[in-house]
Chain A
Amino acid sequence: MLIWFLPVFLFLLMIGLPVVFGLLLAPGALLVLDGSERDLAILYRNLYNGIDSFPLMALPFFMLAGEIMNRGGITIRLVEFSQAIMGHLRGGLAQVNILSSILFAGLSGSAVADTSALGSTLIPAMEKNGYTRRFAAAITAASSVIGPIIPPSGIMIIYAYVMGESVAALFLAGIVPGILVGVGLMVMVRVMADRYDLPPAERVVIANQSISGVEYWTSLVLIRATFGFFLFRIIGGVAGMFGDGANQTVNLALYAACVVSVDLLLRQYRRAVSKDFRLTCKKAVAPLLTPVIILGGILGGFMTPTEASVIAVVYALFVSFFVLGSMKVSDLSGLFARSALASSAVLLLVGAAVSFKTVVALSGAPQILAEFILSLSENPLILLLLINLLLFVVGMFLDAGPAIIILGPILGPIFVDLGVHPVHFAIIMSVNLTVGLATPPMGLVLFVAASVSREKVETISKAILPFLAVEVVVIFLITYFPAISMTIPRLTGFVQ
């Protein structure tokens, strides 16, 4: 009897019942029909326990950090920085759009936030430079899927929680695939630039940059301290100075020496570039340090991902209030309310998924599905291809978060049994489903891009096809070359 919960659930979903109610109604109704009404209480307890979790708390905090960053005038700094770095390449502003998405991905974990923040700045700018509006909207939508792949990532926090994986391992595994999607899109833009004669490019450095004293000095100190720390870790690591008997004084002296050398190097570099270029870079330092702080904190073992997410919030507040001076205290209640609102819907969904998962396990559905899937083929490579197709189709209709919540518990165990590493499978699912966000006809990001650019969804859907082709190729690469996602987590010891 219980095995019917999956078809029933899919039916409820297709006729338009909100996912969270479907997740509870399908198994609940079958429990009642089965005569085991008493188990409903267990379903409810699991819903409650599913939300009552410390690791899950990273979700509202990262959403909050993203909101603050977005409001605090940080987007425009990232765009100006990308323009200064890549604007002179062929297909200039399109390349800038992609680089901005990669950088923005380190601050936010959501493709929708990425599209609306970057789209509202870049689409008008691209149009003014002679790009068609549909091309501008398409590249914005296509590149925004990098957001949830590069850490921090909302869907990875959810997946890690529901499936009992390590958030840190998933975050690390997402870095290379995210950059790969970005590089793939850049190559495509380069090819299209010749073919369609995209507008000529120039290095755009906004002239007469000005910077406040506080920001100047904060950025100056932060950049030296950070690069100094990288250098210190590398030298110290090579020399084996971080063991048990580490001498604090020597370490401190080495760190100071590293900071001084970085300072000297930067002075050399300073002479080679214009003042405007330098200030543009300097203004991007504070926002760009966010991912460094988050990943550094988690990797260094100082913080759990949840604590790192709170540090990201505090840092974003510090930067917006004191460094950039772009936020007022009166903005805060709106920001907090919006984050609470958005995350509450997701938290409830995750709770429902946890209770759904218990019924999945009880029903024996994974075994039956596994038998069915294995009857199609026993070759994991072919099965992965089928899964790619399935996820791609699901991603067209459903947001990545809910999709990963529903499919993870069903598909994950099957493929782990087949010998696919759980972290690798998580990345396959995440990338696949996020790319689905930009896929016609129902991709969420397409609708956001359409509303930002006031261009029709159908027009954007056509213009985005070449970029989707690139993303599909990247999905195959990630699927069939586990090393792409697994190398960094392995090297850092987060995956055995």
Chain B
Amino acid sequence: MALLTGLLWPMERLNDALLAIGRALALTALMIMVAFIVYQILMRLFFDAPNWTEEGARFLMLWMTGLIAPLAYRQGGFVAIDMLERALPRVLAATLGLVLLLAAMVVIWTCASLGWDNVNSFTGRGSSASLRLPLDWFGGERMKFKNSWSFASLFVGFCLLFLVNLELILRQIIALFGGADHLKPLEDAGPID
């Protein structure tokens, strides 16, 4: 048990830190999305509609999802029907919970590796038609946006989900051996208000 809690502690710290960064970036992404679309509407009303705002906002939405969905998962925000788990006796329920987490791990692992392939794919090396990095504002040259920069969003998301799921599995094993009381509740663990 001491070994397990010893393993869990750094896991928790790491996820706390990573998810706090993810949360901050995701909320900023949402703010910029609002700004982009407002700019698009204003420009269309008075001048010509810019061609990059929609794609830019979609890019940000993908990153928002990748960066903050793991936090939602950690807090139990992924919808599931937990009737069976609640109806079972403690040990059986904990075992079922572990099996489910392992099944989730298979999905997360597969998606992460497919995501990595996607980032390095032929399309990933291509460039966006409309998005440019405005380096000319700083005296450089406008730089084309690589598709892989968008593709990386979900890859990063699944990597974070992997870490969260690892933490959840550890917790579940601890719970299985009767250590549930020592675990800190996840609803208010990590970076939330």
Residues of chain A having any CB pair with chain B under 8 Å: 12-21, 24-25, 28, 40-41, 43-45, 47-48, 51-54, 56-57, 60-61, 64, 303, 306-307, 310-311, 313-314, 332-334, 336-345, 347-349, 397-399, 401-402, 442
- 6 further contact pairs, Cβ within 8 A, besides A24-B107, A61-B34, A342-B77: A16-B83, A20-B78, A51-B61, A333-B27, A340-B64, A348-B65
The answer to whether A47 and B111 touch across the interface, beta carbons within 8 angstroms, is yes
Tell me which residues across on chain B come within 8 A of A51, comparing CB atoms.
61-62, 65, 154
Shortest CB-to-CB span from A225 to chain B, Å, is 17
Residues of B contacting A348 with CB < 8 Å? 65, 69, 157
CB distance from A303 to the nearest CB of B (A): 7
What separation, in Å, do the CA atoms of A346 and B110 have in the docked complex? 21
The reply to whether A14 and B110 form a contact with Cβ atoms under 8 Å apart is no
Q: A447 CA to B37 CA in the complex, in Å?
A: 36
One of B114-122, B130-138, B173-181 at the interface? B114-122
Which of chain A's residues have a CB closer than 8 A to the CB of B38? 310, 314
Considering only residues 11-46 of chain B, those with a C-beta below 8 Å from chain A are: 23, 26-27, 29-31, 33-34, 37-38, 40-41
Across the interface, do B154 and A48 meet the contact criterion of CB distance under 8 Å? yes
Q: Chain A residues with Cβ under 8 A from B72's Cβ?
A: 341-342, 344-345
B interface secondary structure, majority: helix
* B81 located at the interface, meaning its Cβ lies under 8 Å from any Cβ of chain A in the complex: yes
Q: How far does the Cβ of A45 sit from chain B's closest Cβ, in whole Å? A: 7
Contacts of A64 in B (CB 8 A): 30, 34
Q: With A and B bound together, what is the CA distance between A44 and B108 in angstroms?
A: 11
Residue of A57, A344, A399 most packed against chain B (CB within 10 A): A344
- A16 touching B78, Cβ below 8 Å: no
**B58 CB within 8 Å of chain A:** yes
Given known A17-B103, A48-B154, A307-B40, contact A340–B26 (CB-CB < 8 A): yes
If over half of A's interface residues share one DSSP class (helix, strand or loop), that class is named, otherwise mixed; here it is helix
What would 25 A/B residue contacts be, using CB atoms closer than 8 Å?
A: A16-B83, A17-B80, A18-B80, A19-B79, A21-B104, A25-B103, A28-B110, A40-B110, A40-B114, A41-B114, A43-B114, A44-B115, A48-B62, A56-B61, A57-B33, A57-B61, A61-B33, A307-B37, A311-B41, A339-B30, A340-B30, A341-B77, A344-B26, A345-B69, A345-B79
Q: Using a Cβ–Cβ cut-off of 8 Å, how many residues does chain B contribute to the interface with A?
A: 54
B73 to chain A, nearest CB (A): 8
Partner of A303 from the list B41, B75, B114 (CB cut-off 8 Å) is B41
Instruction: Flag whether B143 is at the interface (Cβ < 8 A).
Output: no
Q: Are B78 and A19 within 8 A (Cβ)?
A: yes
Question: Which A residues touch B114, using CB under 8 A?
Answer: 40-41, 43-44
| Cβ A399 vs Cβ B104 within 8 A | no
Decide: A442 and B62 in contact? CB cutoff 8 A: no
CB distance from A177 to the nearest CB of B (A): 25
Cβ–Cβ contact B54 & A345, under 8 A: no
In the complex, the answer to whether A48 meets B118 with C-beta atoms within 8 Å is yes
Q: Does B34 contact A310, Cβ atoms closer than 8 Å?
A: yes
Among A16, A340, A348, A401, max chain B CB count under 10 A is at A340
CB atoms of A52 and B111 under 8 A apart: no
Residue in contact with B64 in the complex, picked from A306, A314, A344, A349, CB distance below 8 Å: A344
Contacts of A47 in B (CB 8 A): 111, 154
| Pair B61/A347 contact, Cβ less than 8 Å | yes
- Contacts of B61 on A, CB cut-off 8 Å? 51-52, 56-57, 60, 347
Q: How far is the CA of A44 from the CA of B41 in the complex (A)?
A: 33
> B residues within 8 Å of A by Cβ?
23, 26-27, 29-31, 33-34, 37-38, 40-41, 54, 57-58, 61-62, 64-65, 68-69, 71-73, 75, 77-85, 96-97, 100, 103-104, 106-108, 110-111, 114-115, 117-118, 150-151, 154, 157, 192-193
Q: Is the CB of B65 within 8 A of A399?
A: no
Bound complex: CA of A96 vs CA of B117, how far in Å? 56
The smallest beta-carbon distance between A370 and chain B, in angstroms, is 26
Are the CB atoms of B64 and A60 closer together than 8 Å?
yes
- Give the chain A neighbours of B26 by CB distance below 8 A: 337, 340-341, 344
User: How far, in angstroms, from A290 to B40 measured CA to CA in the complex?
Assistant: 20
Q: How far is the CA of A334 from the CA of B30 in the complex (A)?
A: 12
**Which of B27, B57, B75, B81 is within 8 Å of A398, CB to CB?**
B81
B31 and A52 form a contact (CB under 8 A): no
Contact status A44-B118, CB under 8 Å:
yes
Is the beta-carbon distance between B96 and A28 smaller than 8 angstroms?
A: no
Whole-angstrom distance between the Cβ of B49 and the nearest chain A Cβ: 11
Top 3 closest pairs, chain A to chain B, by CB:
A18-B78, A44-B114, A344-B69
Instruction: Indicate whether A16 sits within 8 Å of B85 (C-beta atoms), given known contacts A44-B118, A57-B58, A399-B79.
Output: yes
User: Complex Cα distance A344/B69, Å?
Assistant: 5
User: Which of B30, B73, B96, B154 is close to A336, meaning CB atoms less than 8 Å apart?
Assistant: B30
- Select B83's contact among A17, A54, A338, A442, beta carbons within 8 Å: A442
Nearest CB in chain A to that of B118: its residue: A44
In the assembled complex, how far is the CB of residue A205 from the closest CB belonging to chain B, in whole angstroms? Answer: 35
Q: Is the CB of B83 within 8 A of A18?
A: no
Given contacts A21-B107, A345-B72, contact A52 B27 (CB under 8 A): no
With a cutoff of 8 Å between Cβ atoms, the chain A residues found around residue B104 in the complex are 17-18, 21
CA distance A152 to B76 in the complex (A): 26
Per the bound structure, the CA–CA distance linking A155 and B16 in Å amounts to: 32
* Residues of B close to A53: CB separation below 8 A: 58
Contact A54 B58 (CB under 8 A): yes
> Is A344 in contact with B65, judged by CB distance below 8 angstroms?
yes
- Residues on A with C-beta less than 8 A from B84 are 14-16
Residues of B with C-beta under 8 A to A311: 41
Q: In the complex, A41 Cα to B114 Cα: how many Å?
A: 6
A48 to B151, CA, bound (A): 8
Which residues of chain A are within 8 angstroms of B31 by Cβ–Cβ distance?
Answer: 332, 336
B30 and A16 contact, CB distance less than 8 A: no
Cβ contacts under 8 Å, B78 to chain A? 18-21, 345, 349
Closest residue of chain B to A43 (Cβ to Cβ) is B114
